[in-house]
Amino acid sequence: MKLKKGVYIIPNLFTTGNFFCGFYAIISVFNQQFYNAAVAIIVAIIFDGLDGKIARLTHSSSDFGLEYDSLSDLISFGLAPGLLVYSWVLQPFGRIGWLAAFLFVICGALRLARYNVQDTSDVRNLDFTGLPIPAAAGVIASTVIMAKDLLFVEKIEPFILVMTVYLLAFLMVSNIRYRSFKRLDLRKKKPFNILVFAILFIYIIATIPELMIFVITVIYALSGPVERVLFHKKMKQEEIVDVEDKTIGGSL
């Protein structure tokens, strides 16, 4: 099948940047340069966020771009972090270790495939179903970065890192809803306090980027389960109130 109408250049160039970072991360893992691989994955996340944003702003979204983006995501946020975490910390665990890395990669692939076939008029424009694969990769990459810069990894039980990989894999294929930032429209006017908060947020990240990137990715990964628990708790409370109201109404 020929692309008679051509392809959009600018968003696909950013997708290519994402792909390049993922490939570079894999090469860095082979060379035992784990920190460089982690940084490359973080840069790939930035490229991934920009290509979609630019495509929407310039009205240049296409089926080709969607498929190309998914392939790039699988390399940069599936295969690259899977190899990274295996070579960095999982290898001594033998079968449990490489199975954890494989599960991370395959769950990432399933997450991407499910996203591509979801109803665009329903789920995709509102919230994500399951932890987005860039966020899962961000947790792994930011952990490696913080471990080198802040030297904290020696204080953590390695088995906790193994279980973290399994947890990330589960969250990607789960039905837990995650907030999407696509609804954030920066072209519209916002309260002045929002600007102040944004500047303060950027300042904090610039001051201690190693820690803040880790904190942001972990908070987002946990936000889905936390919101789900709070939602079910709220629903149960509303059900109890409804039952009490019906009981009181019936007695009257």
Q: Which of 122-131, 156-165, 167-176, 224-233 has the weakest average pLDDT? A: 122-131
Rounded mean pLDDT, 127-152: 87
- Looking at residue 123, what is its pLDDT? 47
**Axis crossing angle, helix 133-150 with helix 158-173, rounded to the nearest 10:** 160
How many domains are there within the chain? 1
- Looking at residue 197, what is its pLDDT? 82
The domain in which residue 46 lies consists of 9-226
User: Mean pLDDT highest for which of 1-15, 121-135, 205-219?
Assistant: 205-219
Locate 94 and state its tokens.
């033998």
**Is 40 a member of any domain?**
yes
pLDDT for 49-79, tens place per residue? Answer: 888 778 777 777 778 888 899 999 999 999 9
**Which class for 31: exposed (0-12), middle (13-18), buried (19 or more C-beta within 10 A)?**
exposed
pLDDT band for position 8 (50/70/90)?
Answer: confident
- Looking at residue 86, what is its pLDDT? 95
Report the DSSP pairing between strands 177-179 and 127-129: antiparallel
**Is 105 a member of any domain?**
yes
**Is 2 a member of any domain?**
no
Question: For a pLDDT cut of 90, what percent of the chain falls above it?
Answer: 49
Own/partner pairs, 11-14, CB within 8 angstroms, 24+ separation: 11/51, 11/52, 11/54, 11/55, 11/58, 11/60, 11/61, 11/65, 12/51, 12/64, 12/65, 12/68, 14/47, 14/50, 14/51, 14/54
Rounded mean pLDDT, 117-146: 82
pLDDT band for position 150 (50/70/90)?
Answer: low
Rounded mean pLDDT, 221-244: 72
Print burial letters for 182-219: b (CB count within 10 Å at least 16), e (below 16). Answer: eeeeeeeeeeeeeeeeeeeeeeeeeeeeebbbbebbbe
C-alpha 162/C-alpha 94 separation (Å) is 11
To 10 degrees, the CA torsion angle through 17, 19, 24, 27? -170
C-alpha 163/C-alpha 171 separation (Å) is 12
Q: Which of 8-12, 69-73, 104-108, 230-234 has the weakest average pLDDT? A: 230-234
**Is 241 a member of any domain?**
no
| Average pLDDT taken over every residue of the chain | 83
C-alpha 57/C-alpha 41 separation (Å) is 24
To 10 degrees, the CA torsion angle through 51, 188, 191, 180? -40
**Is 58 a member of any domain?**
yes
Q: What is the model's pTM?
A: 0.83
- CATH number reported for the structural domain that contains residue 119 in this entry: 1.20.120
**Is 1 a member of any domain?**
no
Look at residue 23 and tell me whether its pLDDT is greater than 70: yes
C-alpha 46/C-alpha 49 separation (Å) is 5
**Is 64 a member of any domain?**
yes
pLDDT for 79-97, tens place per residue? Answer: 999 999 999 999 999 999 9
pLDDT band for position 1 (50/70/90)?
Answer: very low
- Looking at residue 198, what is its pLDDT? 81
Phi-psi category of 107—alpha, beta or left, where left has phi over 0 and alpha has psi -120 to 50? Answer: alpha
**Is 251 a member of any domain?**
no
